[in-house]
């Protein structure tokens, strides 16, 4: 580590370490240095405790040989360093200065932890106790742990949350709890302040697209350990939120919308849930070789540089129809829609329509490699037709984003989007499923579990993006 980057000494003293008296310095740049170690308070130090005359520094360091060698980086591991100031005055001063530096980093001190004990392989409780709790304890973070009891429980909790009582909400689950929390915050009367609550995501479910996207953005592996470190360090980034609107009904999305092949695989494969994550691959093979196409139409406002995708859209009475459905409601109503901008369209039939807000749809699905967290656009992946053999190859490329380079795929960015879903091309008496953030938003006739009630009907809906509306804890580059 370059000493010139450390800043001027904030506190310099002699302390006892392992029976030896050595010099120790805390710098204005947030570096804690003694003869054989230099720790960055922001990156390496989780917290500290004073036990009698000793101070214990709880840190995270790179494991394996070559800890100080940048060319030989290992996985992070917890480690405690202990030193003893030589007087009570020195002890008090070290306590004050260390706490001052940590406080200046804006780290969370109080967290609400929402844990879904039923999601995925029911691993969330173990993930929390083994990976999350020890780090939170090391960082002296006070937390309230609440297990969700039923679907939409997390939404109810977020809707009534005491905003002054916490510095963030930590979701230990797949992506579902995060989505519920966002919807709960935006349906509050004080939504404009509620949605500023920082949200953290710990991968502990079947689908961990948001956690994977956040960690992969800085080259870190998608683990609960790394995700917890990001939350403790307190770094934040803004996140786009998409409003899905149908008449008076609205839903807030942070991940994706799918219709056609991807939605069918995601939702219908639930009948094979006993297979674990392999159910997706197993059912994908079935759907590829018994391929469905759906009639319908999509209309959109293209991002700059993508205006030539699709065909011109002739505007009619749709403007008045959309605006006439819009009335004041509790919570955030979403952005204003102006159909005059929907000047491009693509007619079906379609194999698949897929909208993505973040790059990863799951830990092994790089759905939209060019997606950004707060660019104000959704990435649209369109497939109208594809030979089955080519489709099988294309699906195999999703783990590294290669599918978007296929000649059978259109990949573009849109600011707003309208979906007009229709029936299956092979059977007009059967319709499709609209999947938003891994949940069924609407089911058409003859679909899997079509007797179950959904928030919206299998009909026209509109989507628009609010740039950077939400805030998430994010790892540091």
Verify whether residue 175 is a known catalytic residue.
yes
Cis, peptide link before residue 349, omega less than 30° from 0: yes
Selected catalytic residue, list 44, 131, 138, 175: 175
Q: E strand or H helix at 154, and its extent? A: helix 153-159
Nearest to residue 115, comparing CAs of 102, 101, 128, 134? 128
Distance CA 336, CA 245 (A): 11
Angle between helix 278-289 and 261-268 (nearest 10):
130
Q: What are phi and psi of 339, to 5 degrees?
A: -65, -10
Q: What are the CA-CA distances from residue 352 to residues 105, 242, 371, 385, 396 (Å)?
A: 45, 20, 18, 9, 16
DSSP secondary structure, 456-474, as one string: S-SS-EEEEEEEEEEEEE-
DSSP conformation class of 128:
I
Rg of the chain on CA atoms, in Å: 25
Distance CA 363, CA 385 (A): 27
Distance CA 437, CA 257 (A): 6
Backbone conformation region of residue 364, classed left if phi is above 0, alpha if psi is from -120 to 50, else beta:
alpha
Instruction: Mark out the alpha helices in 351-410 (DSSP H runs).
Output: 388-396
Tell me which residues are annotated as active site: 175
């Amino acid at each position: 580590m370059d000493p010139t980057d450390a800043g001027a000494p904030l506190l310099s003293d002699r302390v006892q370490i392992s029976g030896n008296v050595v010099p120790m310095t805390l710098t204005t740049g947030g570096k804690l240095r003694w003869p054989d170690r230099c720790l960055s308070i922001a990156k390496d130090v989780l917290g500290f405790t004073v036990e009698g005359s000793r101070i214990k520094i709880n840190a995270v360091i790179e494991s394996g040989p070559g800890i100080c060698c940048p060319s030989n980086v290992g996985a992070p591991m917890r480690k405690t360093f202990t030193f003893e100031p030589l007087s009570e005055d020195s002890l008090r001063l070290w306590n004050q200065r260390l706490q001052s530096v940590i406080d200046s980093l804006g780290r969370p001190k109080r967290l609400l932890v929402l844990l879904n004990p039923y999601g995925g392989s029911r691993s969330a409780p173990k993930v929390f106790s083994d990976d999350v709790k020890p780090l939170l304890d090391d960082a002296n973070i006070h937390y309230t742990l609440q297990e969700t009891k039923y679907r939409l429980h997390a939404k109810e909790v977020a809707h009534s949350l005491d905003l002054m009582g916490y510095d963030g909400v930590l979701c230990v689950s797949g992506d579902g709890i995060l989505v519920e929390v966002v919807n709960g915050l935006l349906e509050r009367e004080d939504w404009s302040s509620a949605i500023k609550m920082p949200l953290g995501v710990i991968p502990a479910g079947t689908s961990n697209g948001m956690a994977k996207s956040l960690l992969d953005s800085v080259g870190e592996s998608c683990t609960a350990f790394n995700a917890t470190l990001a939350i403790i360090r307190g770094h934040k980034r803004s996140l786009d939120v998409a409003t899905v609107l149908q008449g008076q009904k609205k839903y807030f999305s942070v991940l994706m919308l799918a219709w056609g092949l991807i939605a069918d695989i995601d939702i219908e494969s639930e009948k094979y849930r006993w297979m674990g994550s392999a159910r997706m691959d197993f059912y994908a093979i079935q759907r590829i070789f018994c391929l469905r196409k759906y009639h319908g139409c999509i209309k959109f406002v293209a991002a700059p540089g993508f205006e030539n995708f699709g065909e011109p859209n002739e505007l009619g009475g749709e403007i008045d129809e959309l605006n006439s459905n819009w009335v004041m409601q509790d919570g955030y109503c979403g952005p204003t829609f102006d159909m005059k901008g929907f000047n491009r369209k693509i007619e079906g039939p379609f194999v698949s329509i897929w909208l993505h807000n973040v790059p990863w749809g799951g830990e092994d699905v790089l759905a939209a490699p060019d997606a950004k967290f707060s660019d104000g656009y959704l990435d649209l992946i369109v497939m109208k037709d594809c030979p089955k053999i080519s489709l099988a190859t294309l699906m195999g490329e999703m783990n590294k984003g290669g599918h978007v380079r296929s000649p059978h795929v259109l990949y573009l960015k849109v600011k707003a989007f309208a979906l007009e879903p229709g029936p299956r091309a092979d059977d007009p008496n059967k319709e499709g499923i609209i999947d938003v953030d891994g949940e069924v938003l609407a089911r058409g006739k003859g679909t899997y579990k079509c007797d179950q009630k959904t928030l919206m009907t299998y009909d026209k809906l509109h989507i628009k993006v609010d740039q950077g509306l939400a805030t998430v804890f994010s790892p540091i580059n």
